[in-house]
Structure 1
Amino acid sequence: MGDSEQFVKNLVGDVRQLLRAPANLVKAEREWSLSTICAVIDARNAAPQVVTTHVGTINSVLVASSALDSPLLQSFLKRARESDPELALSEFLDSSEAEAFTEIYERYREEREEKGHAVWSVGDSAAFVAKSREAWNDRELACVAVTPGPTANTHGVLTFSLPLDWLS
């Protein structure tokens, strides 16, 4: 079992009772829609919290960034985590892709100023909506867990689904 799988197993054990209500709501739905219920689990603190929301409004609970879908920005953020962020910024501003990087980095900063720190990308969010449809077809509750990251002020995102019958 991988680290992520073990984390999810432990987390679900901690919040299973809190997932019953959203599971029962999904059980009562006659068809999948953007109004279908899903669960968001914030596991960044010692006591995980569960928020019930609709898949179509998931980004009102988890801030999404369109800039984070950029491979160039992803590369920069990875480099900034692995080394000194100021050095990484300098490297990218001096690279052959400086113009493209400046544009995407500015968009990222504007989004962050406007919406706050993004939890995931718009692409990740769209993929979760599609996954939630599969989960509904399989009679499962679609879940997103926001996890502690490898370093301070970082986080991870895990998506998974759980059988409705097991939860209720």
Structure 2
Amino acid sequence: MSFDARITRRSALVFAASLLLAGCAPAATDGSAPAGSMAGSAAVSDAGPAWEATLDAEAPFLNVKGQEGAAMPGDLWTQLDDGTIQVQVAGSSIPEPAVDRVDFADGVLTLTMAVPDENTPATMDLVLHQFMVKPVDKAEVKTVKLIRGSDEVELARGVVAPAVELAE
């Protein structure tokens, strides 16, 4: 029995697709992020204090106020004691969502999400992503709006989901 080490077109295509879905993209040489990468932060300071939004994989999940149990799979927000606004958005794991713009006026915080290029590969899973939005001062937020492309939605207010301890 002999080993045949030839690479077929099919195996080369599968390998290339696997790399794309895994988020492997050629390195950018101009200092920008790769084409499929949406990670990072956004800050806007057109009028008033600058707000900064960063993706935080370690943040606890949110739950709809008044409901017990696990995190709710959806878009929610809450204001933490230090003034930080935690915004939970549901989306695919690849590419990670990113906030393109943050606006705040009259108690309304508006997050405009970056729209990935239509040729960017994306997974079909549903993952909860936590953004921590920090103001310069401790402003009181009454409402959070999320804009994705042409869709604009007012988010429900939530609370940090209670930590679940697993029985041994």
Is TM (by shorter chain) over 0.5? no
Q: TM-score, normalised by structure 1?
A: 0.30
> Greater strand share, 1 or 2?
2
